[in-house]
Amino acid sequence: MGKSTQPTLLQGTLDLLILHALQRGAMHGYAVAQTIHLLSDEVLKVEEGSLYPALWRLELDGAITSKSGLSENNRKAKFYQITRHGRKLVAEQEATWSRLSAAVGRVLGG
Amino acid sequence: MRRFFLKLFRRSAMQQQIEAELAFHRDMAARHDNAIPLGNTAVIGEYGYDLWRFTFLENLWRDLVYGARGLRRSPVLVLTALLSLGLGIGVNAAMFSLGVEFLFSEPSVRDAGSLVSVQLGGNSNSPAQVADFLRSSGLFADVTGEDEEAVTNFNDGDVTRPVFSVYTAKNYFTMLGVPMLHGRGILIDDPNEVAVLSYAFWQKQFGSDPAAVGRTLNLNGRMCTVVGILPEHHRTLIGFGYSPDVFLPQYLETTTLALYARLKPGMSIPAARVGLAAVARRMDAEMPAHYKYADAVRVSPIAGFARLQSESEMLAVGVFFALLLAVTGLVLLIACVNVASLLLARASSRRREIATRLALGASRGRLLQQLLAESLLLSLLGAAMGVALAEATAVLLARVHLPMPIPIRLQIEPDWRLAIYAAVLTTFAALACGLLPAWQSMKQSLIQDLRRESRMRLRRTLVAAQIAVSVIVLTTGFLFLRNLLDSTAISPGFDVLHTVRANVNMPPVGYADPAKKDEYIHRVVDSLAALPGVESAAAARVVPFNGGERFMVGIVFADNREQRHAFFFWNGVTPGYFHTMGIPLLQGRTFSAADHGEKVVIVNRAFVAHYLGNRRPVGTVFLWGADGKTPYRIIGVAEGTKTLTIGEEPQPQLYEPLAQIVNDRQGIEFVMRSAIPPALQLETVRRTLHKIEPMAGAQVNTMYSSIGLAFLPSQVGALLMGSTGLLGLLLATIGLYGVMAYSVARRTREIGVRIAIGASRAAIARMVLRDSALVTIAGTAIGLAVALFVTKPLAMFLVPGLKPADPLNFAAVALAMLLTGLAATLGPVRRAVNIDPNATLRDE
């Protein structure tokens, strides 16, 4: 196996990414993965095995809700939508994240 | 919380949803040329289900079902376990219910928490005017009163008999808010001739006919209209299950009432006490009595825990029940050890199963949960059986008329307190039964070598511990049995074997005047003394063990003006009382008909010791009386008698001649000394009394049976503790038998070989017996050593002279234990001796 150039996600950032993606509007799980993939300039790939457990957990926690709807190709799919509580979480976590990344940047850059 | 409801309502749809969602994802990915790598969908699905499940509860349910299936295959184990746990939990639940009813039951009134009992001047009862004064003082929201220990003559048209009754102030029912079954309570505007009946009296007299309301009864020679019937589960203010037959308005001036007051909202008891003291001082100024109202003012709660704290006699009852619960708790522990021992034996057969589960990756916590589910199942079933058993006993007990001189009906019903207690017991039992076997079987699945030997050793240790615990339980039981025997042998201070007692209640009509009463009493004493076979007869206000009038007064000695606060039991008697009762006079003389003018008293030895100091008792004069200035001369000193309980030391007593006091009571006691067995006199005495006054209710008994109440505490103690002790012994026997039987079964092959190579049957029997004796003796020795310490506090319940560390008692317990051990081993010994060596060797 060759050395992986695929950066692995830091613990806890997946939730943030999912919530962030969902701020753009309701979408199904596959679209969430795609959105994250595209927004990261195709650097981040979210595996099904982490994506869905994370979505279900967030739903149980009340950060997102779900309802069924029709996908772009007219198939029945489960659409996730961010809640008020979810938006609050995003704001908090984004602030934390930017503080953290700035700090890491300073350490590496300095 | 949100999670909980989401899970609850949406879980059923989850499984399909999860699968559909993952399938959709895979389709989309395929369409986009598998841009996203696939994971293991099965694992993701599992994760999803777990999120949506109540994992713990569902596992528990599965374990219970699994446990039930496993247990169904071992019916003997289940039966033994259920019997042990059922009896163990049952006896606990029964004693708990009994204790709760005795200690914490609330009387059947509205808002019992705001009711208080009020006492003035150290007297339990006060005249009705005091109640009126208190009410008008405005200190309390309302005040009422009752004479709770009264007796009324009830004539059913044929015979007159005394019935227990309560004389109430007329606002009693409305102020307390007593719930009624039929009709209504007594109202303030009612005439005096009305009555409220207890459920039991109504049932007996009117056959539970609701039309009884409005009918009339002949009570004390007055025709009283029945206005209401109390419900079956009525609890009186006194509590303890005391259930009098009729409630009547107080109609005699002389009746004194125990006072009850309702606190104003927000008023605390200490505040009420302060307020009451002020009112009492005003009362002393405005309506002086022969004692000071403000002397000893008491305001105490009538129900619940607060009552326990405020009454010292209640405290002893509380301690007794706490002790009882501790002992029954030990019995449950014995039962649990039985079950643990059985489960331990079973664990060896499950060794392979558990090893496999561990190898397949079951977590140890999960495995422990599974093993404990089994014991939880057993304890749940045991608890159900136990509570059912306890309730059946309570119902049965309620039906049985208790052989007591006063009507006691305990209203034991299952309630939330019992439910909580049963739940706690069940959890405790499940852990006590299951934890050790579960832990053992897990440990041993890992360490195969230790296996059977250590498990057998563990079971033996358990049985030895069990025997030790039963020794403690049994010692307690034996102590209370001994207490019963000893207390019946104790002399109460007067002759109970040759005496007859007649409790007569003079009809108020025609006997209101004290002079009329005195005349009647004289006539009866003379007629009784003239009966053939009667040596002497006398009258007294009270006889010992049937209540006592206790006085707390200030007396002043005439010689040096020394003032003492004296606290004594007071009685009024005729001159023949001491001779008739067989109470020795130590100094001086008894009363005589010539004692006129100067007031004379006889005191007992304890009175002399407590209050007289160095004075020569006979001839000492002290000042006392309504005005505190009347001189009383001591003319004799009598030996003391017990007054309330058989175990007590005689308290100070003071006797006055009956002729010297104002006879304000309708009740009077007659005692006779009989030369023939007193039981033969009863009918003659009844006839004589009836001839003199047919309207007087009379209860005639031998003295021995009429003081039965005095033995009640020791009888109840012996009954409860003794039966608990026996139960403990029975359970321990089952345990020992089980272990010995198992041990023999396990060694069948070994014993077969021994017999085959020439061991005699006697040697085999000795071997098994030695095995059991070792366990029994070790357990008994440890138990006795522990019992020596833990039974020490029991001394407060025992009659003087009987010590908890009584060697005879311990010897009896040890003997009982060894005999039981032997009995439990006989079966296994027989089986061991009858082992057929050929059969065992062929199996090989």
Length of chain A: 110
Chain A, chain B: beta-carbon pairs less than 8 Å apart: 71
Chain B residues close to A46, C-beta within 8 Å: 36
Q: Do B39 and A53 touch (CB under 8 A)?
A: no
From edge to edge, which strands make up the β-sheet containing A27-28?
A27-28, A76-82, A64-70
Q: Do A77 and B21 touch (CB under 8 A)?
A: yes
Q: Give the model's pLDDT for residue A2.
A: 38
- CB atoms B48 and A53 under 8 Å: yes
Burial letters B150-177, b for 16+ CB under 10 A, else e: bbbbbbeeeebebbbbbbbbbbbbbbbe
Runs of H (alpha helix) within A23-81: 29-39, 48-61
Contact B38 A45 (CB under 8 A): no
- What whole-number distance in Å separates Cα of residue B728 and Cα of residue B725? 5
For residue B64, the distance in angstroms to the closest alpha carbon of chain A comes to 29
Across the interface, do B47 and A53 touch by the CB < 8 Å criterion?
yes
pTM of the model: 0.66
Q: Residue A5 pLDDT more than 70? A: no
Best interface-test mutation with B: which of A48, A57, A58 has the largest number of B CBs within 10 A? A48
Closest chain A CA to residue B14: A56
A25 at B interface, C-beta within 8 A: no
Does residue B759 sit in helix, strand or coil? coil
Cα torsion B341, B344, B345, B351 to 10°: value is 180
Closest residue in A to B47 (Cα) is A53
Is the per-residue pLDDT at A12 higher than 80? no
Inter-chain residue contact A52 with B21, CB threshold 8 Å: yes
Chain A neighbors of B44, CB-CB under 8 A: 48-49, 52-53
Q: Which residues fall within 8 angstroms of residue B763, CB to CB, at 6 or more apart?
A: B754
Question: Residue A45 and residue B25: Cβ atoms within 8 Å?
Answer: no
A-chain CB neighbours of B37 within 8 Å are 45, 47-48
What's the distance, CA B418 to chain centroid? Answer: 15
| CA distance to partner chain B, nearest, from residue A6 (Å) | 13
Burial class (CB in 10 A: 0-12, 13-18, 19+), A105: exposed
- Contact indicator for A9, A44 with CB cutoff of 8 Å: yes
pLDDT at A6: 53
Contact, B505 vs B151, CB < 8 A? yes
C-alpha count within 13 angstroms, C-beta hemisphere, residue B401: 6
ipTM reported for the complex, 2 dp: 0.78
Retrieve residue B654's tokens: 């003071």
* Phi, psi dihedral angles at B195 (to 5 degrees): -150, 145
Among the listed residues B111, B165, B593, the one whose alpha carbon sits nearest the alpha carbon of residue B304: B111
Phi-psi region of B571 (alpha: psi -120 to 50; beta: other; left: phi over 0): beta
Task: Please check whether residue A79 touches B, CB under 8 A.
Answer: no
Strand partners of residue B569: B550, B653
Query: String of b and e for B391-422 (b: at least 16 CB within 10 Å)?
Result: bebbeeebeeeeeebebebbbbeeeeebeebb
Give the pLDDT score at B228. 93
Residue of B nearest to A61 (CA): B3
Q: Which amino acid is at B8?
A: L
Q: How far is residue B226 CA from its own chain's centroid?
A: 34
Q: What is the mean pLDDT of each run of 10 residues along chain B (844 residues)?
A: 60 69 79 61 68 68 82 80 88 86 82 86 77 89 86 81 88 92 91 92 89 89 91 84 88 82 89 89 80 77 68 72 87 88 76 75 76 86 88 74 64 81 88 83 60 69 85 86 77 85 83 87 93 93 80 85 88 93 92 85 93 90 80 92 78 91 85 88 86 81 74 75 84 81 80 86 88 88 89 77 81 88 86 82 64
> Which domains does chain A possess?
13-109 (1.10.10.10)
Out of A29, A45, A61, the one facing B21 most closely (by C-beta) is: A29
